[in-house]
Amino acid sequence: MKQFVSNYTGEGAYHGSTNSKPQIDLNPWGVSETEPSTVRRCISKRSQPESFSGLFSRKYEEVSQLQIPSQSDLSVENTNFAWKAFSQAQLESGPITQEVLSAIKPYLQQKKLYCYVDVKTQYFEKGDLAVDSNHFHIDGTVVVRGSYAERLGYPIVHDMRARFNRESIPPQYFAYQSSDHCPTCFVSKPIQLIVPELIPNFNEFDNIVRRNKPHLKNHPAGSIIHYDGQTIHAATPATKDGWRLWIRVIETDKKISASSEISQCYKSVYRQT
Ligand SMILES: [Fe+2]
């Protein structure tokens, strides 16, 4: 299997490209999970965004430990896709991915409208990253792009406070990774942080997390973990060459179909030059 390689820029191609995109509605999905309440307040009341105190990383749970697959089995798994419906993903996956999805299925919360699966089988050289950023971040942020974001001075805005709205149940995630050489690093205990309500990227957020010296835990090889849209984590560079299978199951109210840009991101590893 050919491994696509891109230059690492730290821009975060997966976790929110800085490229401007047109926006037709502040909340085109019309669900509380994606309601950009702070952006709406700042625009309608012409008020400035502030900082707020939020309790992050309340959900980090290792729910199952599976046998770690061999490098030779991983090298022929050849499963790569993004935002595929769970039932379809089961049909189109290699044997290790199918086993992991079967192990995750009993833990699904089933409180959201959609359940998607992302899978990457990647070959890392030492120093490669799975995504184009190693900043601490949360997944599935409430994002506003286009003209509304530009009115606040940015091409893209992550509404961090919106994730803490009482009506908004965060998206739920189950993640698996197969190997010990490039784990995601999780803030695995709750941490109270004062952060800006709106951020254009995760640079400042990453600094705030690191300054507060959180309790960190690397995602163990072969394990399935449950986290949610308030759980802080970051990619780590590979410590040696080798294959890794990464799987994420997402329960969300946001209807998503993967663009070719996202699919290309998934196929790539990011190399620091
Ligand atoms: Fe992430």
In the three-class reduction of DSSP (H, G, I as helix; E, B as strand; rest coil), residue 118 is classed as strand
Task: Identify the pLDDT of residue 59.
Answer: 97
Tell me: pLDDT of 163 over 80: yes
| CA 193 to chain CA centroid, nearest Å | 19
Give percent of the chain above pLDDT 70.
92
| Distance spanning both ends of the chain, measured CA to CA | 23
Poorest-pLDDT segment among 20-29, 44-53, 121-130, 262-271: 20-29
Tell me: pLDDT of 3 over 80: no
Task: Identify the pLDDT of residue 14.
Answer: 47
Task: Identify the pLDDT of residue 220.
Answer: 98
Identify the bridge partners of residue 228 per DSSP, sorted by sequence position.
172
- Kindly list the strands in the beta sheet with 172-177, ordered across the sheet, starting from the edge strand earlier in the chain: 60-65, 223-228, 172-177, 242-252, 114-124, 81-85
Task: Identify the pLDDT of residue 272.
Answer: 84
Ligand 1 centroid vs 46 CA: distance in angstroms? 32
State how far the Cα of 13 lies from the Cα of 89, in Å rounded to an integer.
23
Ligand 1 centroid vs 230 CA: distance in angstroms? 11
State how far the Cα of 5 lies from the Cα of 134, in Å rounded to an integer.
16
Tokens of 181: 């050489």
In the three-class reduction of DSSP (H, G, I as helix; E, B as strand; rest coil), residue 103 is classed as helix
In the structure, ligand 1 is a single-atom ion and the residues with CB under 5 Å from it are: 139
Per-residue pLDDT reduced to its tens digit, 6-55: 777 776 654 455 555 555 688 888 899 999 999 999 998 888 899 999 99
Residue with tokens 């490039």: 182
State how far the Cα of 109 lies from the Cα of 191, in Å rounded to an integer.
24
Tokens of 195: 């952060």
Please check whether residue 130 is in contact with residue 269, taking contact to mean a CB–CB distance below 8 angstroms: yes
State how far the Cα of 13 lies from the Cα of 10, in Å rounded to an integer.
8
Report, as an integer, the average pLDDT of 63-70: 98
Q: Where are the domains of the chain?
A: 49-142+166-271
Tokens of 36: 């950009």
State how far the Cα of 134 lies from the Cα of 178, in Å rounded to an integer.
19
Report which residue type is found at 23. Q
Ligand 1 centroid vs 134 CA: distance in angstroms? 9
Ligand 1 centroid vs 235 CA: distance in angstroms? 8
Tell me: pLDDT of 236 over 70: yes
Ligand 1 centroid vs 14 CA: distance in angstroms? 8
Give percent of the chain above pLDDT 90.
73
Give the chain's mean pLDDT.
Answer: 91
Task: Identify the pLDDT of residue 45.
Answer: 87
Report which residue type is found at 214. P
Tell me: pLDDT of 107 over 50: yes
* Number of neighbouring beta carbons within 10 Å of residue 223: 17
Task: Identify the pLDDT of residue 1.
Answer: 64
Task: Identify the pLDDT of residue 184.
Answer: 97
Ligand 1 centroid vs 173 CA: distance in angstroms? 10
What does pTM read for this prediction? 0.90
Could you confirm whether domain 49-142+166-271 is CATH 2.60.120? yes
Ligand 1 centroid vs 185 CA: distance in angstroms? 10
Ligand 1 centroid vs 193 CA: distance in angstroms? 18
Tokens of 251: 């329960």
**Highest mean pLDDT pick, 59-73, 142-156, 245-259:** 59-73
Name the CA dihedral angle for 159, 162, 163, 166, rounded to a multiple of 10 degrees: 180
Task: Identify the pLDDT of residue 260.
Answer: 64
Task: Identify the pLDDT of residue 19.
Answer: 54
Q: Could you tell me which residue, 97 or 21, shows the higher pLDDT?
A: 97
Per-residue pLDDT reduced to its tens digit, 180-221: 999 999 999 999 999 999 999 999 999 999 999 999 999 999
State how far the Cα of 142 lies from the Cα of 29, in Å rounded to an integer.
11
Task: Identify the pLDDT of residue 50.
Answer: 95
